[in-house]
Structure 1
Amino acid sequence: MAIAKTIEPDQDHTHPVVELRVRATPDQLSVLRALAATVAIHEDFDLDSIADIKLAMDEICTQLIVRATPGAVLVCRLQYLDDTLRVDVSSTTTSVDSLGERSFAWHVLNALTDSVDLKQEPDPATTGFVTTMEFTKVKNGLSL
């Protein structure tokens, strides 16, 4: 079951962050795509950009889900600021592996978005790693 969004108290409330936490399971992908599309529609992205955002969200979440530890949660954060939608998705994964620049998924994300980034750190609470993938999409193809 999905848990609602939050806005961090120390953040600028004129540019809120939408956060959604869901089980790291494939049946949650449609919810995550819908969330990304809704935010993009609300911020007046064009239809092609909305499709790219949905596909990028699907790709990132799929990559994390297949690597997630049992019982892991996906934490998705979306923020629109300065004509750019920033999306980051985190989960606890089983190992540091080939999510990097040479993977097919990375090439797909580069084609769909304006930037993509990956961070992995050991998770002190488990034997896994906290893995965060982030992408940005600029509205109407404006340059960063």
Structure 2
Amino acid sequence: MANAKTIEPDQDQSHPVVELRIRATPDQLPVLRALASAIAIHENFDLDAIADIKLAMDEICTHLIVRSTEGAVLVCRLQFLAGTLRVAVSTTTNEPDDFSPRSFGWRVLETLTDSVDITQEPSGGATGYVTTMEFSKTNGMYS
């Protein structure tokens, strides 16, 4: 099972984390885009930033879904903290990820977001890896 452990709520619960666990299948992409969009709207991001967030969510989720193991779960965690929306999406993948910072997809993510990162560690199971992709987007109202 995937575990997105980089985004954690504060102990006082003033900065909650929204977490969604969903099948790692392409038909779930609209749900994930809608979730990211709803949080961005709630936090008063402008329309361009909301579109960027939805596209970034689509890009990382698609990247992970096509590499996920059969029956895998996608774990999506979102947190708005200090004017920045942080998103981490994890799943179990079959092979080491080769997502290069020089690839077109990576460049797209760098353009749409303020930061992007990918981490991978061996799965607790017999095979596979837990792959986590993260991005952040700052709300211009807070700059």
Please, what TM-score do these two structures have when normalized by structure 1? 0.89
Shift of 1:140: 1.2
Shift of 1:99: 1.4
Q: Deviations over 1:28-86 (max 9, x none)?
A: 00000000000000000000000000000000000000000000000000000000000
Listed as ranges, the matches of 1:78-89 within 5 Å are 78-89=78-89
Shift of 1:102: 2.0
Could you say which residue in structure 2 is the equivalent of 1:19? 19
Please, what TM-score do these two structures have when normalized by structure 2? 0.90
Check the 8 A contact 2:10/2:16 in 1, yes or no.
Answer: no
CA RMSD of aligned residues (A): 1.6
Q: Which has the higher contact order (CA 8 A, sep 6+)?
A: 2
Shift of 1:120: 0.3
Separation (CA, whole Å) in 1 of partners of 2:106 and 2:23 = 23
Shift of 1:10: 6.8
Aligned: 1:137 with 2:137: yes
Which consecutive unaligned segments of at least 5 residues does structure 2 have?
1-7
Runs of 4+ in 1 over 4 A off after TM superposition: none
Percent identical: 70
Check the 8 A contact 1:17/1:77 in 2, yes or no.
Answer: yes
Which consecutive unaligned segments of at least 5 residues does structure 1 have?
1-7
Aligned length: 136
Aligned: 1:62 with 2:62: yes
